[in-house]
Amino acid sequence: MLLISQVKLKPGYSMMELEAKIASILKVLPEDIKSLSLEKESIDARKKPDVFMVLNVLCDVRHEDSVLKRIHSDQVKKYEPVEYKYSVTGTHELKNRPVIVGAGPAGLFAAYFLSMEGYKPLLIERGFDVDSRLKDVEEFWNTGVLKPGSNVLFGEGGAGTFSDGKLNTLIKDKFGRNRKVLEIFVKAGADPKILYENKPHIGTDVLTKVVKNIRENIISMGGEVRFNAELTGIHEENGVLKYIEVNGIQKLPCDCLILAIGHSARDTFKMLHDSNVHMESKDFAVGLRVEHRQDKINKALYSNDPEVLKKLPPASYKLAAKTEEGRGVYSFCMCPGGFVVNSSSEKGYLCINGMSYSKRNGNNANSAIVVTVGKEDFGSDDVLAGVEFQRKLEKKAFETGNGFIPVEHYGNFKAEVRGEVNLSDSDVDTLFSFSPETKGRYTFAKVSEILPSSINKAIIEGMEHFDKIIPGFADDYTLVCGVETRTSSPVRITRDDDFVSLNVKGMYPCGEGAGYAGGITSAAMDGMKVFEKIIAKYKPISE
């Protein structure tokens, strides 16, 4: 098999055009090509108005060795796939089956592989199964009635279930973990395109089915999954884990615990802190979510040609800047054709996220514009100071919107922060204004009152910079929504080189909540890394 890289074709290319292009590059006849498949596909719109699809293509061709000898180009190489490999080499006996806390991607993938190798893990999840969770979330969005144990952030699949389902990661895939994650998602029902798309995504509507299928695979391979089962205590003797407490009443003997809690398990963070588990405060980011018309973003990033736009997916962006004061400002979790989502998990507090369905066919694009924050913003060195900082902002957002998602035109937001004159109703040009696309009710309010002044000013500085990259990004009619606080965990539950807690032997902090991942794919991969450490120490459970 050959890998041909940097193959450029126009959007909407046909298989015949691709075959002809590959035959030309390899200097063979089309009939010499046995098969073609995509290894990677991306969009190059840097030299507008020309837009190209850039492909890495896998080709099975007749007389491969002679073709390679004839073609002297770095563009054509022998394909050497990176396969995910591991060995079960552990010698220690497990007194009890491994327990995994949290059914987000880290927990699900750790459970998946442990089940496959005969470790019979028990996966406990404080929230509900995905079908029950879907009903609870829809009820919350429609009525505002929040269930603290079953919502956008808690339940099967974790917080990423109600998101865009983005699967891109900055982690280099030297060991094939990333590819294996994508393959398991495809096996569970995701579109096979995620195997080669440069920015793969699943979409909330598909992801809910995928996580359910992964759970059923875990059970079929010998694992067990329990919902409405919250970790409420851990107990150790001389620094060695002995048992855990579930729902405040059940004690489970446990000598191997994978702690894959999410970034919003605030009560669990407190319980661990009170139990003297070693933790550290961690920087994260907070900000607002901005909405634009998706067609405006498409034209700015791709082309003004409607025929070209028909052949391309909704455009996405990734933006970053540094303010004069040295703060980082960047876009986060950009959702093409998506919705701003009320993702609150505590009554009387409000936070938001972005979400897209698989087709990404909503009217608006949205993205968080966030600013890095740390101890100097929290006003304390306490380990849980970041949590309290989040809560303070979320309480203010809830009060500002009276329980609804607060929304404001960027022109008014900017004027209020700078002490200038706001837009009047007569200034709002209906040609440019548009409606928010939200899941959960919204209201127009003074979003400028939610965040500290220094963060508001940093957001404006970032927005004005981004406007130079995407013209119109910071126009007066851009919508800003508050407040985005759950970008990543506010703590890190520290671990050693074997991924074991620094002061509780037998406990493996894992994934996004523990501070070791930043998205669906990286969290799943961290779950796999913990699995690898466990099988290197322990033997599978005997019958």
Using CA atoms, how far apart are residues 145 and 147, in angstroms rounded to an integer? 7
One-letter amino acid at 485 equals: T
Range name among 112-121, 155-164, 483-492 with the lowest pLDDT average: 155-164
Write the CB contacts of 249 (distance below 8 Å, at least 6 apart in sequence): none
What share of the chain has pLDDT > 70, as a percent? 98
When the pLDDT of each residue in the chain is averaged and rounded to a whole number, the result is 95
pTM of the model: 0.95
Backbone angles phi, psi at 143, to 5 degrees: -115, -20
Say how far residue 369 (Cα) sits from the centre of its chain.
15
In a domain, 92, yes or no: no
**What one-character DSSP code corresponds to residue 368?**
E
pLDDT of residue 429: 57
CB of 86 within 8 A of CB of 96? no
In a domain, 496, yes or no: yes
Residues 127 and 269 in one domain: yes
Using CA atoms, how far apart are residues 247 and 233, in angstroms rounded to an integer? 9
Residues 275 and 315 in one domain: no
Question: In this model, does residue 427 exceed pLDDT 70?
Answer: no
In a domain, 84, yes or no: no
Domain final residue, candidates 15, 43, 78:
78
Output the 3-class SS for 120-171: CCEEECCCCCHHHHHHHHHHHHHHCCCCCCCCCCCCCCCHHHHCCCECCCCC
Residues 243 and 140 in one domain: yes
In a domain, 93, yes or no: no
Domain final residue, candidates 484, 506, 527:
484
Write the CB contacts of 14 (distance below 8 Å, at least 6 apart in sequence): none
In a domain, 90, yes or no: no
Domain containing residue 69: CATH number? 3.30.70.2700
Residues 507 and 528 in one domain: yes
User: Tens digit of pLDDT for each residue in 10-19?
Assistant: 999 999 999 9
Residues 320 and 379 in one domain: yes
In a domain, 201, yes or no: yes
- Nearest CA to 450 out of 393, 410, 406 is that of 393
CB of 215 within 8 A of CB of 225? yes
Distance, first Cα to last Cα, the chain? 43
Neighbours of 471 (CB within 10 A): 11
In a domain, 31, yes or no: yes
At residue 425, the 3 state secondary structure works out as helix
Using CA atoms, how far apart are residues 234 and 124, in angstroms rounded to an integer? 14
Using CA atoms, how far apart are residues 138 and 145, in angstroms rounded to an integer? 10
User: Tens digit of pLDDT for each residue in 198-220?
Assistant: 999 999 999 999 999 999 999 99
Mean pLDDT of 13-39: 95
Neighbours of 231 (CB within 10 A): 24
At residue 257, the 3 state secondary structure works out as strand
Write the CB contacts of 177 (distance below 8 Å, at least 6 apart in sequence): 84, 525, 528, 529
Question: In this model, does residue 431 exceed pLDDT 60?
Answer: no
Domain final residue, candidates 45, 78, 111:
78
**Six token digits for residue 233:** 């205590």
How many structural domains are present in the chain?
A: 3
**What one-character DSSP code corresponds to residue 197?**
B
Residues 152 and 36 in one domain: no
Pairing of strands 284-293, 279-281: unpaired
Q: DSSP readout, 81-97?
A: -----------BPPSS-
Residues 432 and 528 in one domain: no
User: Tens digit of pLDDT for each residue in 470-508?
Assistant: 999 999 999 999 999 999 999 999 999 999 999 999 999
User: Tens digit of pLDDT for each residue in 384-420?
Assistant: 999 999 999 999 999 999 999 999 999 999 999 999 8
At residue 192, the 3 state secondary structure works out as helix
Domain containing residue 225: CATH number? 3.50.50.60
Residues 71 and 121 in one domain: no
Mean pLDDT of 74-103: 95
At residue 283, the 3 state secondary structure works out as coil
Residues 141 and 168 in one domain: yes
Pairing of strands 284-293, 479-484: antiparallel
CB of 530 within 8 A of CB of 516? no
Residues 160 and 297 in one domain: no
Backbone angles phi, psi at 25, to 5 degrees: -65, -40
pLDDT of residue 174: 87
In a domain, 83, yes or no: no
CB of 474 within 8 A of CB of 331? no
Question: In this model, does residue 181 exceed pLDDT 90?
Answer: yes
Using CA atoms, how far apart are residues 39 and 355, in angstroms rounded to an integer? 27
Using CA atoms, how far apart are residues 260 and 425, in angstroms rounded to an integer? 49
pLDDT of residue 477: 93
**What one-character DSSP code corresponds to residue 504?**
S
Residues 430 and 289 in one domain: yes
Pairing of strands 442-444, 405-409: parallel
- Nearest CA to 5 out of 41, 34, 51, 45 is that of 41
Using CA atoms, how far apart are residues 287 and 370, in angstroms rounded to an integer? 4
pLDDT grade for 166, boundaries at 50, 70 and 90? confident
Q: Which helix H or strand E contains 521, and what residues bound it?
A: helix 520-537
Question: In this model, does residue 425 exceed pLDDT 60?
Answer: no
pLDDT grade for 426, boundaries at 50, 70 and 90? low
Helix orientation angle between 105-116 and 520-537, rounded to the nearest 10 degrees: 40
Residues 232 and 332 in one domain: no
Using CA atoms, how far apart are residues 240 and 500, in angstroms rounded to an integer? 11
Which domain covers residue 313, as residue numbers?
284-484
> For residue 244, is it left (φ>0), alpha (ψ between -120 and 50) or beta?
beta
Q: Which helix H or strand E contains 333, and what residues bound it?
A: strand 328-335
User: Tens digit of pLDDT for each residue in 306-364?
Assistant: 999 999 999 999 999 999 999 999 999 999 999 999 999 999 999 999 999 999 999 99
